[in-house]
Amino acid sequence: MPRRELNNAERRIAGSVDAVSPVEGEQVDRSVLRHTLGVDLDPELLSLALTHRSYAYEHGGTPHNERLEFLGDSILGQAVTVKLYRDNPELSEGELAKRRASVVSTIALAEVAERIELGPHILLGRGEILTGGARKPSILADTVEAIIGAVYLGCGPDVATDLVLRLVGPLLADSERFGAAMDPKTSLQEAAARQNQPAPHYEVTSEGPDHDRRFTAVVTVGRVARGEGTGSSKKHAEMAAALDAWSQLTGFVKPERTR
């Protein structure tokens, strides 16, 4: 499949291979990201995939990555659906749907983004920079989808499918955990009830300036601290702590991952 040519408006935001990271003034070498992705993607198309709408709005309304995100979401869903269908002939339609939902969830894709250290490469507006946008699960997940869409356009469907399966491979092997990750607080409460334990109780503390505050949550079950988690909001910290506690209560062992 031939490479897609960018239009003039898209080229205005592409610039060079290096770009300003979410830490203002710091330069990030995108060749590292391209090596991690393992695809020969046009630097201009990669730049478009990394451009959040907040950056585009602050730079004259230039194109951003939401159309690529829309495309990538479809490619991701198809690749995961086919993989699950072929590898799990014993599972019902309902079970396949649950596993697919867990693998393509915002939480799961944000973990993919963190594993490939995507955050520093995303072009963000000043407001998002000041509020820790490069760590927000929604922005990380959306950017992963945009990159998948860019690879589909620039390198073809086969390369895009291969990228999807490499990125989400650890999640497919970890589907039980990511099923719980979609709603960890409910999963923890159900696990505690099955063991005749009292309802989980959360305590949250925070530190740091308002624009970069970090929250830490500790969850206890039956007066025993079972899990701890951190996040950019109270909600995210509690969810991380709940997932940690769920893993302990259920004896879940997370598979080894390779970079």
Choosing from 10, 44, 145, 244, the catalytic residue is 145
Of 73, 111, 238, 244, the active-site residue reads: 73
Which residues participate in the annotated binding site? 69, 142, 145
Q: Binding site for Mg(2+): what residues are annotated?
A: 69, 142, 145
Predicted pLDDT at 86:
96
Q: How far apart are CA 114 and CA 1, in angstroms?
A: 30
Per the annotation, the verdict on 145 as an active-site residue is yes
Q: Which amino acid, one-letter code, is at 131?
A: T
Tokens of 38: 């393992």
- Sorted by where each starts, the structural domains of the chain and their CATH numbers stand as 30-174 (1.10.1520.10), 182-250 (3.30.160.20)
Rounded Cα–Cα distance for residues 259 and 204 (Å): 32
Each residue's pLDDT, cut to its tens digit, for the chain (259 residues) gives 444 445 554 444 444 333 444 444 345 678 889 999 999 999 999 999 999 999 999 988 889 999 999 999 999 999 999 999 999 999 899 889 888 988 898 878 988 999 999 999 999 999 889 888 888 888 999 999 999 999 999 999 999 999 999 999 888 887 666 667 678 888 899 899 999 999 999 999 998 887 778 899 999 998 899 999 888 788 888 988 898 898 888 875 444 433 3
**Structure tokens, 27:** 């330069």
Helix axes 93-103, 157-172, angle to 10 degrees: 100
Using CA of residue 101, residue 106, residue 108, residue 112, what is the dihedral sign?
Answer: positive
For strands 201-207 and 214-221, give the pairing: antiparallel
pLDDT at 240: 85
pLDDT of residue 174: 73
Residue found under tokens 């973990």 = 111
Give the tokens for residue 234: 């109270």
